[in-house]
A and B are shown apart, each in its own frame.
Chain A
Amino acid sequence: MSNDKTPTLDRRGFLKASVATSMAATAPMFFMKDAFAKGEAFRNSPKADAKTITLGFNVPQTGAYADEGADELRAFKLAVKHLNGEGDGGMMNTFKPSALKGNGVLGKKVEFVTGDTQTKSDAARASAKRMIEKDGVLMISGGSSSGVAIAVQGLCQEMGTIFMAGLTHSNDTTGKDKRRYGFRHFFNAKMTGSALGPVLKEEMGTERKTYHLTSDYTWGWTQEESIKETTEGLGWKTVKTVKTPVGAGDFSQYITPILNSGADTLILNHYGKDMINSLTQSVQFGLRDKQVNGKNFEIIVPLYSRLMAQGAGKNLQGILGTTNWNWALTDDGSKAFVKSFGKEYGNPPSQAAHTCYVQTLLYANACEVAGTFYPPEVIKALEGFKFDGMGNGKTEYRAEDHQCFKDVLVVRGNDKPTSQFDLLKIVKEVPRSAVEYEAKVFGGDLGPYKV
């Protein structure tokens, strides 16, 4: 196969015998789309006598989400340690049903490579391709935005490499852009809406007028849509939805019209820096001190991240939102993870770290269950997998769309923090049953097992 790919070189006689041998040595990298036709020989298939396997951790190391990426990387390293039987084992002790043995995966020690997504689709795909083509990874995980997750997931489907998504909250990741080779443990905008609904009703009643500021890209739109669906279901009215450019910095020109709009609730469909800036500025405009329609004006930030929340400082206090996981949870799994992460790094893990850690363990476990690294079998082991002891209570990887279903946390910015990490207070652990939805509502197609 490698011969017809270097015709020019052959003809011109530049290839000496030694070089030809070295090219032949790299032959596994030539495996093409029809690689699976040959039984279990698949891309980057580890040799029977190989002592190690490699996983790829693709996180933002530069740009706005660099700190989140750094935290994800810490979690990955911890997971690899635990899989290889080092350290205190963390969630390996609470995760059940577990086939993990603490001696690597299928007896092979786990190694890893890292890469920088820069929170850009192109860079993330280039980095993932490097991992697949050069470093021979079996699985890629990580990421801190939905655009990147969807782009890398699409690539992994084509390359036949499993992708365990990191932090991605858009409905599309396991909705219209879902892929057979992509799995998401994190929750999504739809689940955020379902979880927030009852709390909003309880705290703010059924007669509210909302004003949305929405980041003008796919994640923002899906969240706006999901939250609108929820609030309108409560009987709230939507006064206006306004799209704001990503990375606008100063949002004041979008906040001023809210003052006179008659709305009494502001929903910020922003994440990261945009969330920090728009929230800080909204508070400066006195929105939270206002009385409209005889009610206190309220701000809601549907998706929270503790790491990012630090940037908003005091402005965050008392503001409702949701999060996938929080280190203050007291179930055994969360406690074991926080303990082992805290000992290793001296600070509590973020929700991004949690989801990445869990994803790595889940992939390893699926390989053990399947008894092979052959992706179609691993995928089948993950599909419909039910487990417990990883935080968030009883969890299921739904086979139809590869979305994890588990409890979702509704949180509030803490107004009396007891420490520098105590930023979010858990208001309610919304049970899984309340956030479930039909897989078919978003459409999309998983695609084939064999590519």
Chain B
Amino acid sequence: MKKILSSTPLIMLIFSVVVLSAPIWLAPLGANYPDLLQKFAIFGIFAVGYNILFGLTGYLSFGHATFLGIGSYTAVWSFKLLTMNILPAIILAMIVSGVFALVIGFLSLRRSGIYFSILTLAFAQMAYSLAYSVLTPITNGETGLQLTQQDPRYLDAIAGIPVKDGLPSTNLFGTLIKSMDGYFGFYVAAVVLIVAFYISLKIFRSPFGMKLRAIKSNQTRMKYTGFNTRPYLLTAFVISGMYAGLAGGLLASIDPLAGAERMQWTASGEVVLMTILGGVGTLIGPLLGATIIKYFENIFSALNSNELHKIFDFLPEGMENFMVTVVGPFVGEGWHLTLGLVFMIVVIFLPGGIMQGISHLFGFIKRIFGMGDKPAPVDDTVNNDSVSKGGAS
């Protein structure tokens, strides 16, 4: 049973089905519109990539949004200078952010622990400040880099794609997918997410992944055995940087605008929170965390008293008003408050993030139905880290 559940093809099959059918099963939650689905997928990629660094090696980077931002800028420049085709844009985004990750990672990984965190934070803040001000010719500062009618788009010009009235839309080889609007954008992002997830799964289960985990559990011992950890760490850093660049490139492909605030420390902090909230070191956790945070940001923030009255419509009037009064401060402009409370509750009661909660739940169900003697996690690959962490505390 256990063996079948942890086989790669089955995991990938279930995963693909769940992701691709998201527009259907997210409908009851009011989250089945293209933009939010796209954000789920893209920030899912970002978090899955971040987890390769943080989850496996334990190195807490506070500057990963930089690579997301660089990916976005690169992609928009590719749309401006080369072509509206998203493929070169995304590939370039990954390459350029990979190069930046190599440089920043090379320097930052000379230190560990909180010193590493602050180094990445410092690089990120420099990138943000410069993009916001001095580098405006490249980044268009606060307004953000946008497409214009006059952009040269050399490759498109060579290919003889006619210039129409209004801005051209991003596409995949012109005819394959004409526009990245709406559900097209989501399905492109979803397919990329599935591939990204597959690669992450492979890394988790590879000897390389094992070595990263060994570094996390005891770097000193690794070093004493004559093992040079830095190349492994740097590889993990660059891979996760490229994941971030990929996410940034996708963001720009679906909505060709890149702003500096994408690189602010709060954005870097967001991916850390996503990962911890979902469950550090688990495969699915970061994805869950990303989904939850984006859901709060987009749906909870939009609830106002009108909407609340609609939601609690089924109650008698007195109760309805009471519920609206009670819930009111936690939604709409109060969505930050709810987010803060969720962070606290999750981390206090579920040290391994939401994934730990889920594995507890499965264990509980198993016990009730008498399946197995001990509350074992459903899938040790998916959950092993969260459980061991929960045990340690």
Contact = CB atoms under 8 A, between A and B. Distances in A.
Interface of A: 2, 5-6, 8-9, 12, 14, 19, 22-23, 26, 29-30, 32-33, 61-62, 66, 69-70, 111-116, 120-123, 125-127, 129-130, 133-134, 146-147, 150-151, 154-155, 157-158, 172, 177, 216-219, 243, 245-246, 445, 447-448, 451
Given A122-B262, A154-B146, A113 B302 contact: yes
25 contacts: A8-B20, A32-B181, A32-B182, A61-B301, A61-B332, A113-B304, A114-B332, A115-B301, A116-B332, A121-B142, A121-B143, A125-B255, A130-B33, A130-B35, A133-B35, A147-B142, A151-B144, A151-B259, A155-B257, A157-B167, A172-B143, A217-B132, A246-B132, A447-B167, A448-B165
Nearest to A243: B133
A66 B333 CA distance: 8
A5 B183 contact: yes
Given A116-B301, A126-B298, A243-B133, A133 B34 contact: yes
Most chain A beta carbons < 10 A, residue from B39, B129, B143, B255: B143
B42 to A, nearest CB: 11
Contacts of B165: 447-448
B335 A116 contact: yes
Interface string B135-163: 01000011110100100000000000000
Contact of A12 (B17, B136, B306, B336): B17
B6 interface: no
A121 B139 CA distance: 14
A22 B33 contact: no
Main DSSP-derived SS at the A contact region: helix
Q: How many B residues are at the interface, by size bracket?
A: 35 or more
Contacts of B141: 217-218
Closest 6 CB pairs between A and B?
Answer: A129-B35, A217-B142, A61-B333, A134-B33, A116-B301, A147-B142
Contact of B21 (A2, A14, A155, A157): A14
Given A9-B21, A33-B169, A114-B304, 19 more contacts: A6-B187, A23-B23, A23-B24, A30-B182, A33-B181, A115-B302, A122-B257, A125-B255, A126-B35, A126-B298, A127-B301, A130-B298, A133-B34, A177-B146, A216-B132, A218-B142, A245-B133, A246-B142, A448-B165
Contacts of B307: 113
Nearest to B257: A151
B36 interface: yes
Interface string B251-262: 000010101011
B20 to A, nearest CB: 5
Contacts of B335: 62, 116
Contacts of A120: 259, 261
The majority secondary structure among interface residues of chain B is: helix
Interface of B: 17, 20-21, 23-24, 27, 30, 32-36, 39, 129, 132-133, 136, 141-144, 146, 149, 165-167, 169, 178-179, 181-184, 187, 255, 257, 259, 261-262, 297-298, 301-302, 304, 306-307, 332-333, 335-336
Nearest to B164: A448
Contact of A29 (B24, B33, B129, B187): B33
Contacts of B166: 157, 447-448, 451
Contact of B179 (A26, A32, A66, A177): A32
A8 B136 CA distance: 42
A32 B169 CA distance: 11
B302 A14 contact: no
Nearest to A147: B142
Contacts of A116: 297, 301-302, 332-333, 335
B181 A62 contact: no
Contact of A177 (B35, B36, B143, B297): B143
Contacts of A130: 33, 35-36, 298, 302
